[in-house]
Amino acid sequence: MSALSKSQSHGRIGEAAVYAKCWMHGIPAYSTGGLRANFAGSDIIVETVELRTKLWVQVKTGAPILKGYVYLTQCAGDNDLAIDKFTADFIVFVNIDVRIAKTHTHDGSLDFRNLSFYVVPGIAANRIYRTALEGWAAKPKRDGGRRKLSNMAVHVASERMEEYRDAWALLKSVSGAGR
Give CA torsion, residues 115, 148, 91, 55, to 10 deg: -150
Question: Which pLDDT score is estimated for 8?
Answer: 76
1, part of any domain: no
Look at residue 139 and tell me whether its pLDDT is greater than 90. Answer: no
Domain housing 21: 6-173
94, part of any domain: yes
pLDDT, tens digit (0-9, with 9 covering 90-100), for 82-121: 999 999 999 999 999 988 888 888 888 888 999 999 999 9
pLDDT, tens digit (0-9, with 9 covering 90-100), for 10-53: 888 999 999 999 999 999 999 988 666 557 789 999 999 998 99
179, part of any domain: no
Round the average pLDDT of the chain to a whole number and report it: 91
79, part of any domain: yes
16, part of any domain: yes
Question: Which pLDDT score is estimated for 144?
Answer: 85
Closest among 35, 25, 154 to 95, alpha carbons compared: 154
Q: What is the CATH number of the domain that holds 69?
A: 3.40.1350.10
H-helix or E-strand containing 61? strand 54-62
43, part of any domain: yes
Q: What is the DSSP string of 25-57?
A: TT--EEE-TT-TTTSTT-SEEEE-SSTT-EEEE
Contact 116, 101 (CB under 8 A): no
Structural domains in the chain (count) = 1
31, part of any domain: yes
44, part of any domain: yes
